[in-house]
Amino acid sequence: MSKPFLYTILSPELLNIYDIKDSIVVIIDVFRATSTIATALYNGAEKIIPVDSVDKCIAIGKQTPNSITAGERDGKIIEGLEYGNSPTDYPRSFIEGKTLVLTTTNGTKLLHMALNNGAKEIITGSFPNLNAVCSFLSKQNKNVFLGCSAWKNRVNLEDTLFAGAVIHQIKKHFTVHCDSSLMAEQMYALHKKDLYAFARLTTHWHRLSQYGLEKDLEFCVTENVANVLPQYKNGSLISSTNF
Amino acid sequence: MSKPFLYTILSPELLNIYDIKDSIVVIIDVFRATSTIATALYNGAEKIIPVDSVDKCIAIGKQTPNSITAGERDGKIIEGLEYGNSPTDYPRSFIEGKTLVLTTTNGTKLLHMALNNGAKEIITGSFPNLNAVCSFLSKQNKNVFLGCSAWKNRVNLEDTLFAGAVIHQIKKHFTVHCDSSLMAEQMYALHKKDLYAFARLTTHWHRLSQYGLEKDLEFCVTENVANVLPQYKNGSLISSTNF
């Protein structure tokens, strides 16, 4: 039996050149949306509603009991929302049982693009939930697209590295005929022992560390510290036990 | 004095997210358009007219004295044109003094996009003319965009590797604040000693080697065997001595 395909899409701008119908799409936004999503679910959030605009975020927040609104543009909390896009904002003592209505610069945008393009199934991935993602993907026998959220459509290293980390673990289950995937895996293999040090060279790290977010960024490149599987169902990301 | 910027654009689909006005754009299509362009000029072609459609190629060929028409789609000579897109098609004994009217799958398309987006200056780059490109760029004190032609907009390794080879040589003259460039340079540094072997892993190599083009592909990853500077002027690529 032939193996399913795996592709890496390095920027949302490149999504349209692939046919993602009936495939699993992994949304990757390492700094910081998908790291925050994993952490909030790991710490007991009931669900996360990813929305692609601030207005929707506020409106849905008002309609949803026991919810909080959160989001950032360019690394800062947006006016009108209550919280930011930092994993450290969501300890269990605060987030357990709550619904997080979240909008971010890149990650939630890509998720909605994937939905509109007919993805069969959407999960989110980040270093904190690396193993859950790999375990899930390797059991599905379906085509997989690793979708990097990038930064304003510019290819970024941290999302590429995470794609590489996934490929490194699960490539034997897939046909990988994709130069972006080959490059991503090699970059991860080259730097897996010093992800902290290497991540400091990325443009996004430079941008966000100006806002005092270094601790956040370190957390976001730490593997398996929030090992849940965020799965998109009926408009929300919920923690699935299917891995 | 601050240094000019250097960015790498991994696919034509990403060109629109950068402001390339007043900058130098290097068109890169390693397999095989820009390798063929360098070789034909090195072997004495008077000029190369890159066109973005087969119809234009035929029409311009008819109007141009001492010209030949050439082009490929998906690695094969197009019906209605005379020659293909292989550097070995253009030895000095054949091409000297002639005008080559050329259309290819990815490279000429990107060149016309760069023109339409207001690039100040356009040159073409490939491993056979690596040093000429580096020498020219390092003296201009202008912003540079390394534009990878990719394959039907999918990011490819061979163009990325060439961008990396350029960055490896000239980065001290530029501000490089671009994750794609960092990645490209690291991939080149990792494989520069075994470019032949590594290039065999690319999807494009697999595609073209099915057509018996292995010798071509090896030539296309050989550095400085056709060290000219193809510069776009008044609709043609000519060999510039400005390097």
What ipTM describes this predicted complex? 0.94
| Rounded mean pLDDT, B148-158 | 95
How much is the pLDDT for B108?
83
Contacts of B14 (CB under 8 A, 6+ apart): A11, A13, A14, A153, A154, A155
The mean pLDDT of chain B is: 94
Any domain includes A48 = no
DSSP code, position B4 = P
> What backbone phi and psi angles, to 5 degrees, belong to B234?
50, 45
CATH of the domain at A215: 3.90.1560.10
pLDDT over 90 at A209, yes or no? no
Task: Give dist(CA A173, CA B97) in Å, integer.
Answer: 54
Residue A81, domain member (yes or no): no
**pLDDT at residue B37 greater than cutoff 80:** yes
A210 part of contact set with chain B, CB < 8 Å: no
Domain-located, residue B87: yes
Tell me whether residue A142 is in a domain. Answer: yes
User: Domain tally for chain B?
Assistant: 1
Tell whether B242 is covered by a domain: no
Range of the domain at A151: 6-33+105-240
In angstroms, what separates the C-alpha of B189 from chain A's closest C-alpha? 12
Cβ contact, residue pair B14, A153, below 8 Å: yes
- Name every chain B residue with its beta carbon within 8 A of the beta carbon of A156: 179
The label of the residue with tokens 């357990």 reads A96
B19-33, B74-88, B91-105: which range is least confident on average?
B74-88
Q: Determine the Cα–Cα distance for residues A142 and B53; give it in Å rounded to an integer.
A: 38
In this complex, the residue of A14, A157, A202 whose CB is nearest that of residue B13 is: A14
The predicted structure's pLDDT at residue B105: 77
Average pLDDT over residues B14-38: 96
Query: Phi, psi (5° rounding) for residue B113?
Result: -65, -45
In a domain, A144, yes or no: yes
Strands A144-148, A99-103: pairing is unpaired
Q: What is the pLDDT of residue B216?
A: 86
Residue A27 has pLDDT above 80, yes or no: yes
Does B189 touch chain A if contact means CB atoms closer than 8 Å? Answer: no
Q: Binning pLDDT at 50, 70 and 90, where does residue B164 land?
A: very high
Nearest chain B residue to A11 by CA: give it.
Answer: B14
List, for residues B62-74, the tens digit of each pLDDT value: 999 999 999 987 7
Instruction: Determine the distance in angstroms separating the CA of B45 from the nearest CA of chain A, rounded to an integer.
Output: 33
Q: What average pLDDT does the segment A54-82 reach?
A: 90
pTM here is: 0.95
Q: Does B243 map to a domain? A: no
| A29's tokens | 């936004």
Asked if the structure places residue A149 within a domain, the reply is yes
